[in-house]
Structure 1
Amino acid sequence: MPTYDYQCEAHGGFSALRSIAQRDAACLCPACGLPAQRVLVTAPSFADMPHETRFAHATNERSRHEPVLASRKHGPGCSCCSSKPSRTTAVGKDGSKAFPTKRPWMISH
């Protein structure tokens, strides 16, 4: 459950753990019991955040609506996109697979 900030007119600010459905409703002040309105104490600060963190936030926000598909170029030695045949799997002309470096009782699916 998230924590929200509230401001009591008599006793000042306090935080309360509430469900998202209750976030905008007034919360009772723990000191006096009077209803207190929700306030936004701090605004998000992207200006003084490290470049890597800011870039990660931007990437996550962008991918929420436009997911980026992984490219097939993972670099040298990548087993999924390299043109070299795999050392652990031998594929026959009929499509059957064999695993010459594995245990002989292992079966391909």
Structure 2
Amino acid sequence: MPVYEYLCDECGDFTALRPMSEYQAPQPCPDCGAQAPRVMLTAPHFSSMSRERLVAHSTNESASHAPLNVDQYKDKQDRARHRAGCSCCSGMKSRTKKSKTATSPNGAKSFPSARPWMISH
């Protein structure tokens, strides 16, 4: 249950542990018994939260407006697993190219498509 803040006109502010379903209901003052409305006097204590908890909050917040379906989640995980230009999943051809060198039966090499005027060694 969260802790809410209330402001009594006679006694000042106080806090009370209340269920979330009663967040708008006034609370009786512990000193004088008068009904005190809920107020927000202090900011949430984000600075005292652990880094892991802050990351969890930001992840939840970023997913709330555009949640991923299962296929989108799998795609996101696969992209994170492989580097850019990965040949296994990016559709790029394999890095091993067929040699353009033609070898005759006697062992002489020729380069039919590249610079035919050059002599091979």
Tell me the TM-score normalised to structure 2 length: 0.47
Aligned length: 76
Residue pairs, 1:58-69, within 5 angstroms: 58-68=58-68, 69=73
Alignment RMSD: 3.3
Q: Structure 1 stretches of 5 or more lacking a match?
A: 77-81, 83-109
For residues 47-70 of structure 1, the C-alpha deviation after alignment (integer angstroms, 9 at most, x for no partner) is 9x9998766543320112323515
Q: Structure 2 stretches of 5 or more lacking a match?
A: 83-87, 89-121
Greater CA radius of gyration, 1 or 2? 2
Tell me the TM-score normalised to structure 1 length: 0.51
Residue pairs, 1:1-109, within 5 angstroms: 1-44=1-44, 56-68=56-68, 69-70=73-74, 71-73=77-79, 75=81
Higher helix share: 2
**30-39 vs 52-61, greater mean Cα deviation:** 52-61
- Give, in whole Å, the separation in 1 of the partners of 2:54 and 2:64: 16
Partner amino acid, structure 1, of 2:12: G
